[in-house]
Every structure is written in C-alpha cells, then in structure tokens.
Chains A and B, each alone.
Chain A
Amino acid sequence: MVLTLKDIYAGYGGADILRGVSLTVEQGSLTCIVGPNGAGKSTVLRTISGVIRPRRGLVQFGGVTINGFSPRRILEMGILQVPQERSLFPQLTVQENVRLGGFILKDTRLVERRLGAVMERFPLVKERAKELAGSLSGGQQKLVEFARCFMLDPKLILLDEPSMGLDPQTFKQVFAMVREIHAEGVTVLMVEQNTKSGLEIATHGVVMEGGMVRLDGPSQDVLHHPRIGQLFLGGTLTMAK
C-alpha cells in the first residue's frame, strides 16, 4: 500500500466536504476516483497534496503519516499533483516551466540531467522549448504539465480531471500519456469526470458521492457494477452495456 486514507474529514472554511473517506492506493496501481459533481473527488487530492489539512483522520504515504505536512514537504516526498486548471506559467517558455518543476532540487547538475531526460521523453517539450507556454493549445499544456512532474522522480502522481476541456483527439493523447506513465511503474491516483474512459484505463476504481466512498474495487468490477449507472451516471453505463 503506497497511500492510505483513514476516516478523513476535510473541507473549506469549517464545512466538511469529505465525511469519513477511507481508501487505499496500491503500489504501481492506476486508481480512478469517479462520482458526480460535489462528491469531493478533487478535495481528496487537495487533502493528500497538503493544500487542505484534514480536520480528522489519517493520511499515510509509504507508512508515514503526512497529515499537517506542508505542500513543499509532500512534494519532496514524491507526491506530485497536476491540477484541474491550467498550471503552467504562460509568460515563461516551455523549458523554463519544466525547469521550475525541479525547483526543490538543490543539485543543479541533477536538474540539468532531469531536464535533458524529460526533453528526450517528451518530444513536444524539446520542439517547443523556447516558445511561451501560453502559446500552446490546452492539450499541449497538459502534456507539458505531465512532463514537469518528471523533474522530481514522482512516486505518486495525482491527476485532477486531466480530460477537462480537451477535444477528442487531445483527450486520446492525454489518456495515452496517463497509460504510459502508469506502465512505467508510477502509481497514479486520478480524478475523472468521464467515468467510462477513466475506469477503462484504471486498475482500481473508487466511486464517491456526498463526500463518502460508496464503492471501490478493481476498475472493471466498478465499471460493470449493476447499480453504478443508476446511482451516479443517469444510466449511461447501463445503456453502453
């Protein structure tokens, strides 16, 4: 188990969005959290990355309790989040954006080595290195955000709705990249609105509603659970079957 959440209560301004969330993420898995709007999916990711401090419960990563750790310390532990909204600096070049991903590394030679490796791995970063990040399309920006994660040798990547606002072609590219990252052994915890696509590429699925986990298990079991369509998805999955 790389990540465990036990009975988490957390939210904004005193109101709890998460009400007793417990879930586990296995080492090397691709876990996808699905559920309707307001279910608390993104709040789970923000709690793990230290942006929100849980009021109650435990967050453990690799056996270490990380409740109350600063976002920087959590970053140093290898937990990286790619947020839902665009997170690149539009007035900086693609290369500068990726370089900033390794800001917390003290060893400048290591930063250069990692930058070189990222450029080899992500041709887009190499081709558009000197261009302003703001000039890239939404999908390209998302790919650069993924690339930036690899400046820090991630142990767990948190992806918050990676398909949001993307056209079908870019959507495929982004999901292919998620698959590729996972295939390399990186543990991924993803929140996704597109339930079917998310669960299809995942190894594990978690269904949330009203700040609680309603269902979890192997993603195929979750995807084909008889009640899931009626419960959260207006019957779309049932119809797809």
Chain B
Amino acid sequence: MTRRQAYNAAALGAALLLAALFPVLVPNGAFETVAIFTLIYIAMASAWNILGGYTGYVSLGHAAFFGVGAYAFTILCKAWNVPAGWVTFLMLLAAGAVAGILAIPFGWIALRARRHTFVVITIAYLFIFQLLAYNLTNLTNGSAGIGAPIPPWMGSSFNIPFFYVALALAVAVIVLSALIRRSRFGLSLLAIRDDEDRALGLGIPTGRLKLTAFVIAAIFIAMAGALYAYYVTFIYPQYAMNPLDDLSMALMAFLGGVGTVAGPVIGALIVEPSQQYFTIAFQSGLNLITYGGLFLVVILFIPRGLWPTIRDALKARAERVRAQSAVEPPAEATRLSAKGGSS
C-alpha cells in the first residue's frame, strides 16, 4: 500500500466512524432527520452518477424509479402482510428488484437516443410514472396517497434504525460506485462518455453496458425511495415522483464533481442540509431559487465540480512547489557564485 493509499484509507475510515457515531454525538431528532435525508440523497446521487456521470447520459427521469421503489415497497408490504420492524427493511431489496425489472425496457428505449433527446425522453418518463401513480387508483390509491407500515420505534429511538440503514445504503452505493470506477466495466462507461462511436470501434458493446448502468442506478434509487416511504410512512404521487429530486441528484453530482466517486457525496453533503435549512428558515420557495442559482454558478464557474477542481489545484500547487525547490540552488552555491561574480 502506498503512502497516499494509506492516507486515503485512514481518511475514509475516520469519515465512516464519524458518520456512525453521529446519533451519539448529536442526539437531536431534527438533526438526525436531516442526516437521514442527506444519506438518502448521497445514495441517490451516487447511484445517478453511475449512469449520468460515468456514461455522460444525463437522466432527468430517474426520480420516477424513486417513486417506483416507494410504491413497490408500500404495495408489497401490504400484499405480503410484512410486519413493521427491522425485517421490513428487507423489502428494500424487493423494491429495488421491481424497479430494476421495469428499468430494462424503459432504459432500452431511452438509450436508443443520445444527448438532448435522451434527456427529454427521461423527463417524459418521470411524468408518465407520476400520471400512472395518480391514475392507477386500485394500486396506488391515486392522489389520496397510500400508507406504508408504521415503524414500531417511538420517541428518541425512532430515527436510529433509519439512520443506520440509510448509512448502510449510502456506503453500499459508494463502494459499488468505486468498484465500478476501477473495473473494466467502469472504464468502458467512461469511454462511452468520451466518444461512444470510438468505443464501439474497439469492440465495446456500448448498448448493453449503458443499459446495465441505467438499471443499476434505477435499482439503488428505488431502494432509497423505499426507505423514504418507510420513514415518512405515507406517500403521494407528487412527492414520490418529484421533478425536484431529479434536479437535486444532478445538481449534487455536478456540484461535487460529476463522474467521480467522491463528487456526488460532497454535493449531497452541501445541498441537502442547505435545502433543509432554507426550507425551515424561510418556509418559502427560496430553496428552489437557491437550486437554480447554484446550478448556474456550478456550470459557469466550476463546470468540473468542486472535488476535481480542488484536487487539481492542490496537485498543481504541489508540483509548483516541487519545481521551485528543484530550481533553487542551495544557499552555499549561491554565495560561491556571488563571490565569483564580484571578483
């Protein structure tokens, strides 16, 4: 293990420990709620990044799968009489599976298009799913909403199970994202992002790989949706399939550094607590204005995102320092040359 790898591992370990100790260090229900939503968004933005960041196919429709996960969780829990408790969290897997199966045909159709057309198709998906949630009343109870199992935990212990499951989900997606980034599959996705036709020319089956990324993103976003449904206990079409969630995932990834493992995590850690703060502090649409302003700032001034920009600036600074120390002659040599010059 190199020194840098050891440093990275130590930093990651410390961050994970700090996150795990959060409910102990900050035993406050409101802060725990913000932390749970932040972890859910870390999972969502990191999953979105596997498609949008690695392949360059920016989806503004994956919030539909968040809703699919939320509804699948709620409906299946009712249908299978799943009791509320820890075991209910296993239903997240079922919700992910439902979304994964649905994502295959929808992804296959959308990925036949590229760039702007793809974006437009995914936006259409979101509204198609939202309309279905409104109109399939036998299944979703329409605009009246549908209740999820009521968690059995009460008072100050209510948030704790959700916090640790959200943390586990976020860590799982980050680890998966990192593994993909380092794999042959991930390298192929990055090649697709750079130039899909060139990738085809090297024998890379771009269609299959793009679809795999689409489905992976859908599965984990749906699992986040299922966790959300269990946490809030009641879901409505307009909140379960919310266009703002699509903007949030994209904004978090772009702000932190799209196409990097750390970027969406950093973005979610900045955007979600800020959004919660603005919502509570101003109780108006100020958070939406902030979203728009932040998007503009990111695209105009830091198009690569915070993480790559800061990382490269630090690297460039280190190289400058190294170059300067290599050029600067030792003090004794300077004195000798000064003597020679004066004689």
Contact = CB atoms under 8 A, between A and B. Distances in A.
Interface of A: 51, 71-72, 75-76, 81, 83, 87, 89-92, 96, 99-101, 103-104, 108
A104 B201 CA distance: 11
A33 B205 CA distance: 31
A83 B190 contact: no
Given A90-B194, A91-B193, A101 B202 contact: yes
Residue with the greatest number of chain A CB neighbours at <10 A, chosen from B187, B188, B204: B187
B187 A99 contact: yes
Contact of B201 (A76, A83, A91, A92): A83
A89 B198 contact: yes
B187 A71 contact: no
Interface in B190-225: 190-191, 193-195, 198-205
A75 B202 CA distance: 8
Contact of B202 (A90, A100, A108): A100
Contacts of A76: 203
Given A71-B203, A76-B203, A103 B198 contact: no
B191 A92 contact: yes
B36 to A, nearest CB: 35
Nearest to B204: A103
Interface of B is mostly: helix
Identify the 4 closest CB pairs spanning chains A and B, nearest first: A89-B194, A104-B203, A72-B203, A75-B203
A69 to B, nearest CB: 12
B198 A91 contact: no
Contacts, number: 45
Nearest to A90: B194
A71 B190 CA distance: 21
B184 interface: yes
Chain B interface size, under 10 / 10 to 19 / 20 to 34 / 35 or more: 10 to 19
A158 to B, nearest CB: 12
Contacts of B203: 71-72, 75-76, 103-104
Interface string B156-194: 000000000000000000000000000010011011011
B209 to A, nearest CB: 10
A100 B191 contact: yes
A99 B187 CA distance: 9
B190 A89 contact: yes
B191 A89 contact: yes
A83 B202 CA distance: 12
Contacts of B187: 92, 96, 99-100
A183 to B, nearest CB: 26
Contacts of B199: 89, 100
Contacts of B195: 89
Nearest to A81: B201
A104 B200 CA distance: 11
A103 B201 contact: no
Interface string B5-45: 00000000000000000000000000000000000000000
B258 to A, nearest CB: 12
22 contacts: A51-B201, A71-B200, A71-B201, A76-B203, A83-B201, A89-B190, A89-B194, A89-B195, A89-B198, A90-B194, A91-B194, A92-B190, A92-B191, A99-B187, A100-B187, A100-B202, A100-B204, A101-B202, A103-B184, A103-B202, A104-B203, A108-B184
A99 B186 CA distance: 12
B201 A100 contact: no
Given A51-B201, A89-B191, A100-B199, 7 more contacts: A71-B203, A83-B201, A91-B190, A92-B187, A100-B188, A103-B184, A108-B184
A95 B265 CA distance: 27
B202 A92 contact: no
B184 A92 contact: no
A76 B205 CA distance: 14
Nearest to A134: B194
Nearest to A133: B194
A24 B191 CA distance: 35
A14 to B, nearest CB: 21
A108 B187 CA distance: 14
B199 to A, nearest CB: 8
Contacts of A104: 202-203
Contact of A92 (B194, B200, B204, B205): B194
